[in-house]
Structures are given as C-alpha cells and as structure tokens.
Amino acid sequence: MGPQPHISPSMLSSDFANLAAEAKRMVDFGADYLHLDGAPVVKSLRKHTNAFLDCHLMVSEPEKWVKGDAGKLIDEIHKSGMKAGISVKPGTSVDTVIPFAGKADMILIMTVEPGFGGQSFMSSMLPKVKTLREKFPNLDIQVDGGLSNDNIDVATEAGANVIVAGTSIFSAPSPKDVISNFRSFILKNVTNK
C-alpha cells in the first residue's frame, strides 16, 4: 500500500471573518489537514481547532529560526516535535531537494508561483512530482496551486498524494464532493498502485 491521501483545503480561500467556522466546516467535509499561509493565521486558528495545520511559511533564512544546514534543520524541526517539509518553487530544480527527501516528512511541489490564490495550474511541474515518486515511493508529495476537478487526475497520476486546493473547494456548490473526489483519485492513482 502506498502513501495515504491527504486533502488540505487552503484557508487562504476561506471567509477570514469566520475562520474558525470555516475550519470546522472543512474538517466536517472530510479534510485531513488545513493548509495555512502565514504565522498570524496559525496563531489565530490553533485555539479553535485540533486539525492538523499544514503550514506553508516562506522563510528566506530558516537558520535564523532553527539552527543548522538543511539536513540539520530537518533534525532540529523534528526535535521540536514538528514535521518538516520542503517546498520547491516552479523555477527550482527538483534535484535540489533529492538529498533531503529521505529525511523530510513531505516535499511540496508548487504548481503556481507562490504569493496569491486563483492562479492557473502549471502542469509543467508534474515531472518533478513523478521524479520524486519514482525515487521515494512512500514519501508524502504535496502539490499546491490551481488544483481542481479538471486536473486532479494528472496530478495524482504523477504521484501527488497530498492535495492543497483553495478556490476549487471553497467556491464549489459542494466542497464535500470535491474533497471526496480528490481523495478517490489519490486512492486510485497513488495509494493502490
């Protein structure tokens, strides 16, 4: 059995005035994680949910926050009781994370340029996912940016098992159905391969 499916609605697309209620709604609809961008959102939401918070924090000098080089940073993060993931922006080669993928809990392949929601999915990033899946069959591989019912099949066929989606979940007539559909593609294309 391969990596398990994890659906992580991006709270960036939620109604910020009702963040706690939106978090509960997503968990009730079957979300495994809640994807957050930014430390202030984590601080605000943590006291209102027990859900796993999947935090995408862009840090240009991580050694200021946790001592050590990349491999040692992962060790320090683990010692602090947290999971460690590494993000790969569209212009960055996947080869840069391969030396650390065996230690990391998750590798995130950005399928849009980081910074704002509502961008179009970049299918040209999927070979990075495929490379990681071939080399690390049990690694959690996350994709973030522009994921929808229109491209979930190709994303999961490439090997993504952790899906971040904001607009396509929060704007859907039935967010629960979108979450369920995403999960079914992960189960079909990644977990049961």
- Phi-psi domain of 134 (left: phi exceeds 0; alpha: psi -120 through 50; beta: other): alpha
Instruction: List, for residues 65-118, the tens digit of each pLDDT value.
Output: 666 788 888 998 899 999 999 999 999 999 999 999 999 999 999 999 987 667
Judge whether 167 lies within some domain.
yes
Q: What is the pLDDT of residue 21?
A: 97
Q: Is 144 a catalytic residue?
A: yes
Average pLDDT over residues 157-181: 97
| Contact criterion met (CB below 8 Å) for 96 and 64 | no
User: Mind listing the pLDDT tens digit for each residue in 17-63?
Assistant: 999 999 999 999 999 999 998 778 888 899 999 999 998 877 777 66
Residue 33 domain flag:
yes
- Is 26 contained in some domain? yes
pLDDT in the model for residue 65: 67
Out of 32, 37, 54, 140, the active site residue is 37
Q: Which residues lie closer than 8 Å to 111 by C-beta, 6 or more apart?
A: 90, 121, 122, 123, 125, 126, 143, 144, 145, 146, 147, 155
For position 40, what pLDDT does the model report? 80
> What total of structural domains would you count in the chain?
1
Q: Is residue 1 part of a domain?
A: no
Sequence length of the chain is 193
Is residue 14 in a domain? yes
CB 129 within 8 A of CB 155: yes
Is residue 92 within 8 A of residue 113, CB to CB? The reply is: no
Q: At what angle do helices 19-28 and 39-46 cross, to 10 degrees?
A: 80
> One of 144, 150, 153, 177 is an active-site residue; which one?
144
Q: Write the CATH number for 109.
A: 3.20.20.70
Residue 28 known to be catalytic: no
- What domain range is 40 assigned to? 6-191
Residues 6 or more apart in contact with residue 162 via CB below 8 angstroms: 5, 6, 8, 33, 54, 106, 108, 140, 141, 142, 143
Report yes or no on 152 lying in a domain.
yes
